[in-house]
Chain A
């Protein structure tokens, strides 16, 4: 992997159970986590989830095609990120602007509303294009903002949001785009909910990442968007970046459909490539936002990875504040990582109380001050995908 120039991040937006915008989420991270609850739409369901309260979502008028919830979440986060970057829709239309969105639920036709239409009688109002626009978040955002640049939806399961940000960096560096709106989005989806229960990966209580009593994840929903800019555009606008995307590495385990490689095989390759891209070493990393789902295997593999490669470096999981937001997780946690770099402290790992004696490294139990200007956020996905993003407060390590 060649060293890559850092890419400026000029705007951030986030919506999840912890808050309706990034400042709200950040405040929650350092105060108290929201409590997960059984899904509102499923009577009798037991396993708790982190749903976004309706009051966090701005009111929208009627839309055609109808805006699915995952797109609504994505649009809310994108509006916040663009405002944060000081970019208006009119300004965007003067530039080559790309959109890269990671998702799991809002991909293709994995859509229960569509299924209901197919199972019923009347599909007359649904052309393929309309269906596509209904469920494809990258297409939706590009059309909404009137953007003519490239747009793509990444469907890498739980690492999709992180991979979207990594690909956005490539689009900026290659000169293909002046600006890229990149992130992830996912909404609560009953098939996924019951799917994780079927896989025995869902906790019946609030999730407990890295805790001895951990027994699975809680699903969540949300979206986060980052605005990445070329140096030329950023300099011409005279804006100060909030952070830089310095490195991105991704690698497959080639091991198992639903379980991570026991020694973190792909994760180690992803780290090697991310550090090489950033021109950094492990010693440069001030803290790590772990994937930390609360499942037995994920947390065991990550703990081993931190113990072997980052001894003494503080790490934590924010899943106890958001639940596992699947395709949005990599993006939401990227936003949290940048916010922590700015605040120079990381939150406690909500749900972590009892250290697991079988794990060699343990997350922060209290908010922890950090020193250094570079941080790492990692995601591990279904199918054995591992992705790592490195963010820095300064353009170089």
Chain B
């Protein structure tokens, strides 16, 4: 079964919303790299949708997820709300890491550890899902998963499973990760130092959130883009991802799986790298499929110019540090 994508919402270092992402791709404009460097996201736009008083206990991690979710509703023309039994799946690689680390200073003596109940609540791994559920009135199945770089393909796979088994007719699915300078200093920068960058200029670290509204293809019109397939592979299994007919969006430091791709592009300079940044690639794939000019810009040039197949498919590939990989294949429409 193909799952139609009714809408997408993104929040990242490039800005908020589909138009901001499309503009970044069109202008090839990477945001100015800050000192860390990290492409951090702003969530002020959330005040347009939710009264600030309601948000006073919501931390940055959950705000990003909430804003991306709300933008996905807007993009889908569902400002009045989602269907009754809509499901929610939140993928994260780090969870509310920065919050958690703030919560447990190294020098605190265990016996007199006094926690703020709000900080503690925000440190629970499904806090973002809880806020989205409460504020968008989602009362269907609700799942938070944490499998580092594989979280987004697993979330999409689960969303399609839910649609197929009739658990729900609509799923809000996406990913969120929050930048943590402590983790960056401890591991990400060291990774480049230790292993090199594979001959590529390392992308800046990022943060952000991308959410999508999925429904069964037989319940939606043929005009919507769709998730054609989700492929997963394990490090200890020798299979490689299939080659999409048009383009592979690649989002990993490792490049060995790219030998199989005829055309590939890395857009992480626009939003940075983080465990669930594959969600940004899915949003970018939707933008490329929507606008041929953008897609042509990303395809390799040949003598006859860029050739776009009749039914273009874009694969979004993420390879994890452990060698596991996931690929979400997006098609233009169901016609």
Contact = CB atoms under 8 A, between A and B. Distances in A.
Interface of A: 1-2, 4, 41-45, 104, 107-110, 112, 115-120, 123-124, 126-129, 131-133, 136, 138-139, 142, 146-157, 163, 167, 170, 173-174, 190-191, 194-195, 197-200, 250-258, 265-266, 269, 273, 381-385
B36 interface: no
Interface centre among A163, A167, A173, A191 (most CB of B within 10 A): A191
27 contacts: A4-B165, A42-B111, A109-B97, A109-B101, A110-B95, A123-B186, A124-B190, A127-B194, A132-B148, A155-B126, A156-B143, A191-B103, A191-B115, A191-B123, A195-B123, A199-B117, A250-B141, A252-B88, A254-B133, A254-B136, A257-B130, A258-B121, A269-B140, A382-B126, A383-B126, A383-B129, A384-B133
A135 B225 CA distance: 37
Contacts of A104: 124-125
Contacts of B123: 110, 191, 195
B237 interface: yes
A254 B86 CA distance: 12
A163 B154 contact: no
B116 interface: yes
B76 interface: no
Contacts of A384: 130, 133-134, 142
Contact of A255 (B97, B134, B186, B234): B134
Given A41-B110, A42-B110, A383-B129, A198 B187 contact: no
Nearest to A266: B139
B42 interface: no
Contact of B165 (A45, A127, A170, A190): A170
Interface in B152-207: 154, 157-158, 161, 164-167, 182-183, 185-188, 190-191, 194
B107 A383 contact: no
Which 3 pairs show the lowest CB-CB distances between chains A and B? A119-B106, A383-B130, A155-B125
Nearest to A133: B322
Contacts of B5: none
A123 B121 CA distance: 28
Given A4-B165, A153-B145, A195 B117 contact: yes
B254 to A, nearest CB: 11
B161 A194 contact: no
B165 A136 contact: no
B88 A382 contact: no
B95 A155 contact: yes
A118 B130 contact: no
Interface string B81-114: 0000100100011110100110111110011011
Contact of B126 (A139, A149, A385): A385
B232 interface: yes
Contacts of A42: 110-111
A350 to B, nearest CB: 27
Contacts of B237: 148
Given A110-B123, A252-B139, A266-B139, A127 B321 contact: yes
Contacts of B125: 104, 107-108, 110, 155, 157
A255 B139 CA distance: 9
B251 interface: no
B113 A173 contact: no
A162 B216 CA distance: 26
B111 A43 contact: yes
B6 interface: no
B93 A108 contact: yes
B69 interface: no
A152 B230 CA distance: 15
Interface centre among A148, A155, A200 (most CB of B within 10 A): A155
Nearest to A149: B234
B127 interface: yes
Contacts of A128: 148, 187-188, 191, 321
Contacts of B191: 127-128
B164 A148 contact: no
A197 to B, nearest CB: 8
A270 to B, nearest CB: 8
A110 B224 CA distance: 39
